[in-house]
């Protein structure tokens, strides 16, 4: 691989968007080419500045409200409401129809206020659970279990440098029967995450890790999904999802090991 | 009331993407008021065509509409052409900028904003989507209607130009 080829690929490398083989080739080229390493370092510096400088414009709350109102008042929404009110009015006196209409709406709205955040929370977790299980299955299927194969945590951890905007905590649990076998980049919940691969007997365990928005510790067993067990825990500011075909009990003892390092 | 549910579903799916929508619009049209108008128009269009949303990433879907709305708006109000005819090959190799990492650290916020503001739309938008909004190449490809292979070369060019512009600005400051 020469410098001209590398010039464009550097960006894919920086963004963690290359396939493993190309990514390694680029890495090898950078390591031995002073010009490309300078270029790469400056690209990294620019990216860091773009991230840190708070260049994002945020929408004002008024805009959000304005758009909500416009949608509610748009012909598609309004015509439907008018039709159904007219229909009610023909069958019943005005007051009755108002009660028929308003009371269930009010109750519905109250329930929605109470229930919506919970169901949304639940479906949000469920969505991530679906994603991590799908990712786990894919990792076993296409021979793309690992981007970096190593039982040494000091090899695996630095491998993530520059590929992620955070540094995952990598520990080997070989003496507890869960040896680290490698790591790879993955993509969950719309972001690049670290995937650490562990083995227990013949079973493979994927640990997906990315910075948590919340603080403190929490564990949540998300349960079985297509025959795989998934567990979510927050350790040392990291949101971790553990997925495997191990049984629930063994998976929990593995989660306990992760937690002990938090 | 299927249509009212439609409005609720729409809001639940797409209102969380409004910051991303506004950010892209703001960087494309450069003005708060205009960006708000573009986002509002884009959302109403999106609502009309919500039935054509076939799942997938709502952010990339709404950004595609925001982007089209913004370019239509720019053409109507400022007579600029949308960057659809851009051809990677014609525009040749990526410029060398020779900018060093240590120099980048000297650039301040205003300099970075100005450099980004002055980039051509097709370059500014990919940097905004990737480096500020954090979209993947696939999402950028969907939002900007580019082949996925083009996203990386477009980004390479865009960052090269940004680096050169920063380089010049820093040199001037000295």
Q: Write the CATH number for B132.
A: 1.10.10.10
**Mean pLDDT lowest for which of A70-79, B35-44, B160-169?**
A70-79
**In chain B, which residue's Cα lies nearest the Cα of A72?**
B7
A30, A40, A46: which to substitute to probe chain B, counting the most B Cβ within 10 Å?
A46
Inter-chain touch B23–A57, beta carbons under 8 Å: yes
pLDDT beyond 60 at A122: no
**Nearest CB to B159; choose among A11, A120, A192:** A11
- B62 vs chain A: nearest CA distance in angstroms? 14
| B102 lies in the same domain as B75 | no
Q: Whole-angstrom Cα distance, residue A254 to residue B13?
A: 36
* Boundary residue ending a domain (B27, B60, B81): B81
Whether the CB-CB separation of A46 and B166 falls below 8 Å is answered with: yes
Find all residues with CB under 8 Å of A57, minimum gap 6, and list them: B22, B23, B26, B27, B35
| B118 lies in the same domain as B72 | no
Using pLDDT thresholds of 50, 70 and 90, give the confidence band for residue A92. Answer: very low
| B76 lies in the same domain as B131 | no
Using pLDDT thresholds of 50, 70 and 90, give the confidence band for residue A219. Answer: low
pLDDT beyond 70 at A94: no
Inter-chain touch A42–B99, beta carbons under 8 Å: yes
| B71 lies in the same domain as B119 | no
B2, B26, B43: which to substitute to probe chain A, counting the most A Cβ within 10 Å?
B43
Q: What is the pLDDT of residue A89?
A: 38
| B123 lies in the same domain as B43 | no
Side-chain-facing half-sphere of A95: CA atoms under 13 Å: 0
| B91 lies in the same domain as B18 | no
pLDDT beyond 90 at B135: yes
pLDDT beyond 90 at A81: no
**Nearest CB to A59; choose among B39, B105, B153:** B39
Using pLDDT thresholds of 50, 70 and 90, give the confidence band for residue A101. Answer: low
**Mean pLDDT lowest for which of A154-163, A241-250, B96-105?**
B96-105
The label of the residue with tokens 């025959």 reads A227
**Mean pLDDT lowest for which of A30-44, A220-234, B115-129?**
A220-234
**In chain B, which residue's Cα lies nearest the Cα of A109?**
B8
Q: What percent of chain A has pLDDT over 90?
A: 27
Inter-chain touch B36–A55, beta carbons under 8 Å: no
Inter-chain touch A57–B97, beta carbons under 8 Å: no
Whether the CB-CB separation of A26 and A19 falls below 8 Å is answered with: no
Give B106 or A32, the one with higher predicted confidence.
A32
Residues of A in contact with B33 (CB under 8 A): none
| B19 lies in the same domain as B36 | yes
Mean pLDDT of A131-159: 77
| B168 lies in the same domain as B98 | yes
Give B127 or A184, the one with higher predicted confidence.
B127
| B88 lies in the same domain as B161 | yes
| B88 lies in the same domain as B169 | yes
Q: How does pLDDT run across A184-217, given as a tens digit for each residue?
A: 888 888 788 999 999 998 888 999 999 887 655 5
Domain tally, chain B: 2
pLDDT beyond 90 at B118: yes
Q: What is the pLDDT of residue A61?
A: 92
**Mean pLDDT lowest for which of A77-91, A219-233, B13-27, B72-86?**
A77-91
Measured between its terminal Cα atoms, the distance across chain A in Å is 41
Inter-chain touch B132–A50, beta carbons under 8 Å: yes
Q: Whole-angstrom Cα distance, residue B36 to residue B16?
A: 16
* Boundary residue ending a domain (B81, B114, B129): B81
Q: What percent of chain B has pLDDT over 70?
A: 87
Give the residue numbers spanning the domain of B25. Answer: 2-81
| B169 lies in the same domain as B95 | yes
Q: What is the pLDDT of residue A158?
A: 85
Integer angstrom CA distances of residue B115 from A63, A161, B1, B159: 28, 28, 50, 11
| B74 lies in the same domain as B90 | no
Using pLDDT thresholds of 50, 70 and 90, give the confidence band for residue B49. Answer: confident
Which H or E run contains B113?
helix B109-118
Mean pLDDT of B81-86: 56
Mean pLDDT of B148-152: 90
Which H or E run contains A229?
strand A228-235
pLDDT beyond 50 at A127: yes
* Boundary residue ending a domain (B81, B111, B146): B81
Task: Name all contacts of A172-176 with Cβ < 8 Å and 24+ positions apart.
Answer: A173/A198, A173/A254, A173/A257, A176/A257
Using pLDDT thresholds of 50, 70 and 90, give the confidence band for residue B107. Answer: confident
Domains of chain A: 3-52 (no CATH), 58-91 (no CATH), 125-260 (3.40.1000)
What's the CATH number where B58 sits? 1.10.1740.10
Give B33 or A101, the one with higher predicted confidence.
B33
């Amino acid at each position: 691989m020469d410098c001209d080829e590398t010039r464009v690929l550097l960006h894919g490398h920086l963004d963690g968007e290359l396939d493993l083989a190309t990514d390694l080739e680029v890495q090898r080229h950078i390591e031995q080419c002073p010009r490309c390493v300078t270029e790469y370092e400056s690209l990294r510096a620019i990216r860091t500045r773009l991230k840190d400088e708070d260049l994002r414009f945020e929408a004002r709350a008024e805009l959000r409200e304005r758009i909500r109102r416009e949608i509610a008042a748009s012909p598609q929404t309004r015509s439907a409401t008018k039709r159904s009110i007219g229909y009610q009015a023909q069958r019943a006196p005005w007051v009755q129809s108002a009660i028929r209409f308003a009371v269930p709406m009010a109750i519905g709205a109250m329930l929605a206020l109470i229930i919506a955040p919970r169901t949304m929370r639940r479906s949000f977790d469920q969505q991530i659970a679906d994603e991590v299980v799908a990712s786990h299955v894919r990792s076993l299927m296409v021979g793309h279990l690992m981007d970096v194969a190593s039982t040494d945590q000091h090899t695996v951890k630095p491998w993530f440098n520059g590929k992620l905007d955070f540094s995952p905590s990598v520990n080997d649990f070989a003496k507890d029967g869960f040896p680290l076998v490698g790591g790879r980049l993955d993509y969950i919940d719309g972001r690049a995450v670290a995937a650490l691969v562990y083995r227990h007997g013949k079973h493979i365990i994927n640990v997906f890790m990315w910075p948590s928005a919340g603080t403190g510790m929490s564990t949540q067993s998300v349960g079985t999904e297509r025959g795989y067990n998934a567990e979510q825990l927050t350790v040392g500011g990291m949101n971790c999802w553990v997925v495997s075909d191990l049984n629930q009990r063994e998976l929990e003892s593995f989660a306990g090991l992760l937690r002990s390092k938090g | 009331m299927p249509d009212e549910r439609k409005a609720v579903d729409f809001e639940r799916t797409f209102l969380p993407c409004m910051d991303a929508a506004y950010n892209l619009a703001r960087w494309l049209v450069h003005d708060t008021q205009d960006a708000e108008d573009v986002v509002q128009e884009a959302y109403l269009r999106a609502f009309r065509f919500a039935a054509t949303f076939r799942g997938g990433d709502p952010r990339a879907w709404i950004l595609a509409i925001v982007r089209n709305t913004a370019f239509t708006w720019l053409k109507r109000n400022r007579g600029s052409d949308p960057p659809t005819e851009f051809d990677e090959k014609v525009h040749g190799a990526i410029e060398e900028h020779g900018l060093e990492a240590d120099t980048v650290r000297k650039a301040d916020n205003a300099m970075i904003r100005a450099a980004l503001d002055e980039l051509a739309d097709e370059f500014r938008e990919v940097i905004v989507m990737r480096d500020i909004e954090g979209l993947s190449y696939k999402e950028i490809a969907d939002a900007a209607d580019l082949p996925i292979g083009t996203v990386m070369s477009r980004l390479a060019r865009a960052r090269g130009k940004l680096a050169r512009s920063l380089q010049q600005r820093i040199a001037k400051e000295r």
